[in-house]
Chains A and B, each alone.
Chain A
Amino acid sequence: NAGVTQTPKFQVLKTGQSMTLQCAQDMNHNSMYWYRQDPGMGLRLIYYSASEGTTDKGEVPNGYNVSRLNKREFSLRLESAAPSQTSVYFCAGRQASSYEQYFGPGTRLTVT
């Protein structure tokens, strides 16, 4: 089992460009999450999907959109990237009735 996978690992964008971060899991997770990690800020929730077909905003959703394509895949889209979105992005999944979240390896995004 691959667990939670994320692509790409690294990305550099210019201000105003768009891109989609991909996340897939083979752990039968019902819920999936997108976080951003910034120095001194911990992990902040951007969006989450409690189950297939549903998505909800987290703490810092502005500038992002998400799609829960199916049970396995949860993508994060930046429509018009800004330097403030320079960060490390983590996807995570969770099985029903369990708190434990399993994280992917992260995507390091730089917006110039």
Chain B
Amino acid sequence: QQQVKQSPQSLIVQKGGISIINCAYENTAFDYFPWYQQFPGKGPALLIAIRPDVSEKKEGRFTISFNKSAKQFSLHIMDSQPGDSATYFCAAGMDSSYKLIFGSGTRLLVRP
């Protein structure tokens, strides 16, 4: 019940295309869903996050779509750029503990 399942494991997209990464969770007590971005040799950094009271959040080219009934959320990267090439992690957390459960990660490669 504590797992967060992430797919795909890897993704190759052409420059200008849309990258889509999906996550699913089981525990309905989760109330915070962030996405972290990690470049090679660096630690992960928060990219964008959403609470379950909204279905979508957009920041620039990055959008989280959230489906509470399906217990799924996804990251959409519009107009993908080579500089977006990185590993992306979804996560889920709950107010009672502030701990995060991370997905297994998606390695994104954006080809020029």
Q: How many chain B residues touch the partner (CB < 8 A)?
A: 20
Selected contact of B43 from candidates A31, A48, A94, A103, CB within 8 Å: A103
Selected contact of B45 from candidates A41, A45, A99, A103, CB within 8 Å: A103
Could you tell me the distance between the alpha carbons of A90 and B93 in the complex, rounded to whole angstroms?
18
Name which residue of chain A comes closest to B4, CB basis.
A42
Q: Which residues of A contact B99 (CB under 8 A)?
A: 33, 45, 48, 58
A43–B32 touching, CB < 8 Å: no
Q: Which residues of B contact A58 (CB under 8 A)?
A: 99
Could you tell me the distance between the alpha carbons of A97 and B34 in the complex, rounded to whole angstroms?
15
Name which residue of chain A comes closest to B97, CB basis.
A50
A41 with B43: in contact, given A31-B98, A99-B93 (CB under 8 Å)?
A: no
Q: Is B80 an interface residue (CB 8 A)?
A: no
Selected contact of B103 from candidates A33, A35, A42, CB within 8 Å: A42
A101 with B46: in contact, given A42-B89, A43-B102 (CB under 8 Å)?
A: yes
A105 with B42: in contact, given A40-B104, A42-B103, A99-B49 (CB under 8 Å)?
A: yes
A94–B6 touching, CB < 8 Å: no
Q: Which residues of B contact A (CB under 8 A)?
A: 6, 9, 32, 34, 41-46, 49, 89, 93, 98-100, 102-105
A-B contacts, 10 of them at CB < 8 A, read: A31-B98, A41-B104, A42-B103, A43-B44, A43-B102, A45-B100, A58-B99, A99-B34, A106-B42, A106-B43
The 9 closest A-B pairs by CB, nearest first: A103-B43, A42-B102, A43-B102, A42-B104, A99-B32, A103-B44, A100-B46, A42-B105, A90-B43
Q: Which residues of A contact B (CB under 8 A)?
A: 4, 31, 33, 35, 40-45, 48, 50, 58, 90, 92, 94, 99-106
